[in-house]
A and B are shown apart, each in its own frame.
Chain A
């Protein structure tokens, strides 16, 4: 069974704190993704990575950075947390597409982050 785990289910941080969200997958997937989920907005892509040390901005990268030093681990960093970053954060992973094939994404359980 594919497993994507996230370091915390719930997290409460103060404004201005540096926040690390960790994600680990055990299926040797090349691609990893960070989304935030907000009511009425669905899932929005923050960053993704298609290989170790490689990253690309998604639709809403402002205020976030990422790190991928090992293939199985993808970290999301909030350099200085703000209240508008209160949200559910979902990590996902997948194999790379090739020959026109699209592979499904496997999701972790999510981290509900509250910034006060």
Chain B
């Protein structure tokens, strides 16, 4: 079955530090890959996505590249801010097209990021 493995948190960084959150996956076929972010007290929101190998998703200074050879989708940001403090979830979707299963997601366990001044 499908699975997503994320690095354990919490990750604590000083403002302007470089961020990497590792994510690897196991899936059949050609999954789409996502990073979602959950700010305190809120639901999840999509941060970025990539739908095929070598695609790079980017948003708000965050980037992740779909690496099929290493089955990875690591999240990076060059300079984090206090406002980036949140829980980050890696997820994949590999359902069959044309059916309701196409949008089912498998999530990792989440990585909490704490950014301090």
From B49, B97, B100, B109, contact of A100 by CB (8 A): B97
- The reply on A107 being an interface residue by CB < 8 A is yes
CA A61 to CA B110, docked complex, whole Å: 22
Interface of A is mostly: strand
| A-B pairs with beta carbons under 8 A, tally | 83
Let me know if B100 and A43 touch, CB within 8 A. no
- The reply on A20 being an interface residue by CB < 8 A is no
Task: Show 29 A/B contacts (Cβ-Cβ < 8 Å), sorted by A.
Answer: A4-B43, A31-B103, A40-B109, A42-B109, A43-B44, A43-B89, A44-B107, A45-B105, A51-B100, A54-B100, A92-B43, A96-B100, A96-B102, A97-B95, A97-B99, A98-B98, A99-B97, A100-B97, A101-B97, A102-B102, A102-B103, A104-B46, A104-B49, A105-B105, A106-B46, A108-B43, A109-B42, A109-B43, A110-B43
Give the top 5 A-B pairs by smallest Cβ distance, nearest first.
Answer: A97-B102, A50-B100, A107-B43, A42-B109, A102-B32
